A and B are shown apart, each in its own frame.
Chain A
């Protein structure tokens, strides 16, 4: 094609040219016949007929010419736009083209001829941003919608732990309730909103059973009418029993109650307490009779936690201690040292921890409004020592990371008294917190993670898998393999994308491994609308933050008017009609 020109009916070009040639041939033959040797007239008529046929062909092919323009604006309406804003923008910008945005439909074509786009509403889906790379775009953000605009909850939790949901609610209706409900609408926790501002909330609930459930966060008005409800998909797993070794220089009440607590919950517990020189009392709970005398790596490997009193542990010889430390750092064994004055008065190199005397003998557990006894010491800040929060108090227990494992102790004194006072819940909460923190973590082969917070049907769902295994296949729904890409810098990390086809729970799993499942919940389009809109607005603001931009110049093909060719055709065909009549005379 000649530069700058082209035809709209490109596909008709060849048939039209061929047809034109045939017709031209006919004309030439006819002129040859009628001219009877009048070569001058023959040539003239041949040229005229060529012009006639050429112009009729051109008329049908609709020729266009490229022109540069820079004033074609468009207004892109995305979800949640306001009519007012739309009308005033149309008023301001004459001839602005109004486009409707549908994330599932491409608008690529329309964009090509635009020199400038204004987006109003909640904005584009992030995966469509790339379409606007070359178009100067202005985003006029919407106001934030009423409802939950920030949310975080632990979608994966262990049975016995609390599900905690926190977030912000923008302008709730006065007197309305926010309620967290289990999968069958049994209310678990709620708050009432007493003012119509932006309110931060926190709800807690402890699930009763393990499994995969869809809890609900519901907004009800003061008389119980449902205003809004959103799903909270959670996966609740069970904890496995621990294998615990308790070593004591002499039997203590502390150990007695701790061991009963553990044994009654089904953990495997071995208690070795010294009776006299070289004589021990062994107690086995839920496990076999295997006396423990030596503490070699092979023996310690069988335990998740070793609980020992300071007297026993601190009087170990160098090799024995080294064996323990080896086991802790390489196998992830958890060591808990039951405190005594001996521990607090040792140097840090012996006892792992630094303490300072604080002369406080009782501590209020803020979460339970209850007092507990403690040693008059507190932890000093150390690089690798992390506090363990017990009932809302952070300076009473701490652990030190040692390789894979952890060493912990507490300044809590006579914790069994809590139990004897009837506060079973506080006791189990304290020891659950401490032991969960330090217990050996059993190796998980695959770790799954997603970067898509609210997966939706037919939208991309991005996930990453981490594993030390080198070759494995990820399967999606109906066992269809999913392609995964290994990260170049982190060879253990793989990422992939799927497009879920089904609402509700979907699953990814590893081929030939039924244990490594990853369940994710695909939301309905209407779920979490306020949250979605906030996220979308933020992302769009960030993406189109440059403000008003200069219009770009776009080249478009403007059609050439066919009238000229039509007139040419009429004139030439008229000539061809007229000449025989003139020559006859």
Chain B
């Protein structure tokens, strides 16, 4: 390449560089000015970058390429004679004359170009920069924009603790400023969260966390205190600051207070401290019915799968299984603690635990029942949180129950009849079917009808447990088919009639099962919330599952009775068996209640019994002082006091301070639950208390807030004062004469 073109390129590069330098100088000037205004390097840097990029976009230094350079050279160097453009063109594309000129120009430019400086305003840029720096310095010296600096120097302005003097007269003096504000949240070790640092004085942490505040001031201060819900805690002095450590046990609000060298008191805004409770573990048992029934011949195994979760980590979890044996007064319980198949690792947040419960391994026999639930603990200290799952039941069915022997000497049959006679009915029905060929039709019908009546009586007796009223007896009328001959003809009709009264056992919805019932129940939206004694469905004699079972048994008995009344004992028999099965189950379930209402009567002193002596009986005395349940006493006082301030009848005195402080903690309790509504009022109350806001507007605002926060006044009786006039008394006495 010829030297001419090289020079041209150099020139072009120089031009570009100068242009860049110009932009940088301008940008530097602006950046320094911004720095002086805001006293913040970050803002200075930001200003530099922004202004530089803006300037570059405006000046576009990259546009000074070879073409523009050659145009410039042509315009400014006469020797170039407008031919520098030739240097840019490929040599072989030129004519001879052009080649000659090109060579000549190349020679000329190598000499002259070094003397030519690209057009620039670098000096001007430098001057502007100096000027901006000077302005910046001047601003800094004069402290003209102190507030701006203040704002910009506190990017976390709302987080920094601001103080105001409690005596407004000295407000103009220097307020000691917090130079360092460190808030450490030391989580309890079990949470494995360690220590977290924050600048935000509004703290939210788990209960049991320790919170440490370290405050450093730029000036000498004394008696730095924290006010927290009526308590005043002094911060400890450290090397170059003040420190306080507190255990977070309940939510609340706090603020800081200190005195400067002159003894002027300063106070900060209110900040919240939220104690987030450590929730107990949550246990979910997957895919298991609350009641599981086994026949003796079944393989009696239950697959228990559970998922246990906790917010900070689990400590332990196991299954508590109780086996109940026997019935009536001889029932016995055996409790066992079973561990899950998986070992529980401490500190895990989610655990999937399973266990195969083998009823045989628990030495359970026919008729025995197993109640089990899962218990889980978390690692909370000092006391672990405990959670329990619902109780699940597993029963090995026992259809053959020993009958309670009633001795002739005992006058009272303690076992109620209606727990036994379904079996009797079955036996009688079977006997009737067996006897059918040997007896007359009339007798068959009569016996079948009698059995139907017994079945009805039994059903009604069970109905009592459901809370059914005796009116139920009238409800169904007996369907009578007098003539046998018509039986065949009416088969189809009968089927239709039967549909009305019977349940379709071949259908899907055998025994009129739950969904159908539920659909009915959903009709009344209030149903869930009512405690309606009129409705037999709502009787609370039995728990829910038991009740549905009994209801089911009753409807099956209804079918059994129907077929007996229709002289079809054979059809009735399956229903009777179903009913028997259900009744047995119900009977066994009822045993659970023994465990719940166990009561040990105190021993009776036989020698004192029935003597009627009250010699040793003394007067009974009980003294009790009930704390008057009026949690907002101080707030009430403050409201009436504020009214006096507003009416300008009185001024704030030292005695008021105590009441206002108490009212503050009362309101803080409300503010914890509803900070949006009461926090500002609380702040206003504090301002009145510490003399930063004793102005009419604030009085009115606080009173309004307190009035709306206070609950409705209760109606209570009380003594009143009344002036009694002698003349009135005379009048009353006179009246009595006529009575």
Q: Give A contacts to B, CB under 8 Å.
A: 158-161, 182-186, 206-213, 238-243, 262-267, 275-277, 279-286, 288-289, 291, 304, 332, 382-384, 401-404, 425, 428-429, 431-432, 434-436, 439-447, 466-468, 490, 492, 504-505
Contacts and interface: CB of A to CB of B under 8 A. Distances in A.
Given A279-B614, A384-B736, A266 B628 contact: yes
Given A284-B623, A505-B647, A444 B725 contact: no
A203 to B, nearest CB: 16
Nearest to B636: A209
B721 A443 contact: yes
B479 interface: no
B729 to A, nearest CB: 7
B503 interface: no
A277 B613 CA distance: 11
A116 to B, nearest CB: 47
Given A186-B704, A282-B619, A286-B625, A160 B721 contact: no
Contacts of B715: 160-161, 425, 428-429, 432
B719 A209 contact: no
A239 B622 contact: no
Given A209-B640, A434-B717, 7 more contacts: A209-B636, A264-B629, A265-B717, A279-B617, A280-B619, A403-B736, A443-B721
Contacts of A436: 717-718, 720
Contact of A263 (B614, B624, B704): B624
A279 B619 contact: yes
Contacts, number: 189
A440 B719 contact: yes
B210 interface: no
Nearest to B648: A504
Given A208-B707, A209-B710, A265-B628, A289 B623 contact: yes
Contact of A504 (B647, B719, B733, B735): B647
B727 A490 contact: yes
B169 interface: no
Contact of A208 (B647, B712, B723, B729): B712
A425 B722 CA distance: 27
Contacts of B13: none
B726 A285 contact: no
B735 A384 contact: yes
Contacts of B621: 281-284, 289, 291
Interface string B696-717: 0000100110011011111111
B735 A466 contact: no
Contact of B625 (A212, A265, A285, A428): A285
Contact of B718 (A212, A239, A490): A239
21 contacts: A160-B714, A211-B640, A212-B643, A239-B717, A264-B626, A265-B714, A265-B717, A276-B617, A277-B614, A279-B618, A280-B620, A283-B621, A286-B626, A382-B739, A401-B735, A403-B729, A404-B729, A436-B718, A436-B720, A441-B720, A504-B647
B643 A213 contact: yes
A490 to B, nearest CB: 7
A429 B717 CA distance: 9
B735 to A, nearest CB: 6
B724 interface: yes
A212 to B, nearest CB: 7
B5 to A, nearest CB: 83
Contacts of A263: 624, 626
Given A279-B614, A505-B647, A242 B620 contact: no
Contacts of A285: 623-626
Contacts of B733: 403
B569 to A, nearest CB: 51
B690 to A, nearest CB: 22
A442 B719 contact: yes
Contacts of A490: 727
B165 interface: no
A56 B349 CA distance: 125
Contact of B721 (A183, A242, A441, A468): A441
B718 to A, nearest CB: 2
Contacts of B622: 281-284
B732 interface: yes
Nearest to A440: B719
Nearest to A383: B739
Interface string B628-647: 11000000100110011011
Nearest to B703: A184
Contacts of B720: 158, 239-240, 436, 439, 441-442
Contacts of A504: 647
